[in-house]
Structure 1
Amino acid sequence: MTERRGGAMANTQTYGFPIYAADWIAEDTVRSKIDKENSEDCIEPSASRSCIALAGGGGEGRSGIPNVIVICRVDLETNSLLEQPVGRVVVSGLPYRMAVHPREGGLICALPESCKRFDWENIMRPREGEELEEVINELEDVGQQLALEFNQEGSLLATGGEDGTLRIFEWPSMITILNESKAHGEVKNLTFSESGKFLVSLGGPLCRVWDVNASTAVASLSKEKLLKNYSITAFNVSPDGKFLAFGTLEGDVLIISSTKMKTHQFVKKAHLGLVTALTFSPDSRCLVSVSFDSRAKLTVIEKNQNPETNGINWLVVFLLFVLLVVVLYYFLMVNGIIAS
């Protein structure tokens, strides 16, 4: 595998399987393994390259499409995705959700009846006959998990289930901090605060803010009825807090300024079908979106955008709702409602 033979670059690449999950990889966690791969393929190592992990596949059907996790390079100088993955491993069961550990330790995938951990070595260089995955016993036979999230330090893991159960564990000991069986009808999204003291959970019919240390919900917001007709299928917050990203059923991607409460960028038909996941880069400079259409798309966040860019009216309402949920814990601390 060389740059000339299979390393074509573009801001959109097709990887040959429906993609359900995506996450950026901290550069230093797999740098030595990627550089080793590059050296063997006569590709000069470059500090301008980062990586993303993608997961998905054909599920339990007879499509002939395997369930896989792949690691793909991102060239930050040309703002391009490279065509050929640098790592690929076939997994048993569909990896529906994924969380990459922010420092080390590989990644976790949520499969239909369990969650499994994969280390970088087994993804970069899988060896036939070896055990490639580690079942997380505390998350076995608990049903499909729809959300996985590490805090920024990688010391906590939160999971949200299709059955509405919210769990928070210490990592890697998996000591249970919170196990709330009726957090939501189903848990669809989780976001830790920067300090890791609070966790925001999104799911019907409420959005809730949890005090991690106290293991209790400290606030909740009901979903606005105005939102019931809109087809948001994916959501992500930039690490610097300046942008919110939305993916739609129609394949569009919207990037919203969290301060101006206006559409910053609108990518019409970024994908051929519904957007399944969105992930901002660690420096908040770009966004990767993925879809059932087997494509990953890299969108660079524009620096100078007309503040009067026309958006869609309902986004203002939806943004207000989500923005309040994401930053509510700051409001509570500033006003003395909860301790910092």
Structure 2
Amino acid sequence: MTTRRRFLAGLAPLGLPAALTAPFAATTARAAEDDRYPSRPIKLVVPQPPGGPSDIVARFLAESMRASLGQPLVIDNRPGAAGLIGTAAAAAAPADGYTVLVTSRSNHILAPLVQQGATVQPVRELQPVGLALRAVGILATPARAPWRTLPELVAAAKAQLGKLFYGSAGIGATNHIALEQFKTLAGIELVHVPYKGSGPLITGLMAGEVQLALLDFSSAQPALKGGSIRPLAQTGLRRLTSMPEVPTLTECGYPRFDASFWIGLAVPQGTPAAVVARLSKALDTALADTQMKARAQVNGWELAGGGPAPFEALIRQDTADFPPLVKRLDLKA
């Protein structure tokens, strides 16, 4: 019997009021539940539709983390409002570790800055579990487009001012902010078309509804392999080994800006430290798995991990960097 339980047992003969012993009993029950965590399936909330980058990563992590947690991780896709619908649902869930958000820069940092009247503030209402990865982005165009390089597209945009379209995963999404930056760098004007997630965006790009999009490499792969979209440039510092023919933005003549996609796990604020530590350890174990490393190489991912602290530092940095940028670009939903 633990010391706390012995203490509670000793109170009973004293006839102390239940009001005095109840808080101790509740604390003991909570501690016991934390020790048993997880004792039932865990919900992984993905604030994107199936097929988006967060969804792809979530399904890989669910498979890998199940082994160390001993419970299934069930995917719950809740797209809309640039990820804020799913984010709000996760933030409002009980802080018991059974609801985990697969979060990204798009919904965690950018969407609350851009969406007017946003009711969820992820930085305050969620606490980090760990950073899963950073992903390389691909600037892509429909395969039937007449331009074959990024400079050719830029020339066409300058010749047809305001007549070409670019798509994003939603207003305030990472690829929305990044392409607004690119427009400034390139000195071009493109009309923004927001979609409800990366899956619909890729479909729209394949259909020629938009002429340019920034996609994460993993979710773009099927369309790239199928030949329905054409890569023009990649956002990494070096060319991907799986796409050595595609130049970097720097090689195309543009200074590198932070258009990377990061994805991590977060839980409602107030989740017990022991539960957060358990989830963080399971994430690190999953990222160290040989199969996950092989997937990272194929998908253009830089695996991270390392616990909540590095992820918290990244969020803090983004919180300092992006509000001035959004204000300067005057981006509003």
Give the structure-2-normalised TM-score: 0.24
Structure 1 or 2: more strand by fraction? 1
Q: Which has the larger radius of gyration?
A: 2
Structure with the larger RCO, 1 or 2 (CA within 8 Å, 6+ apart): 2
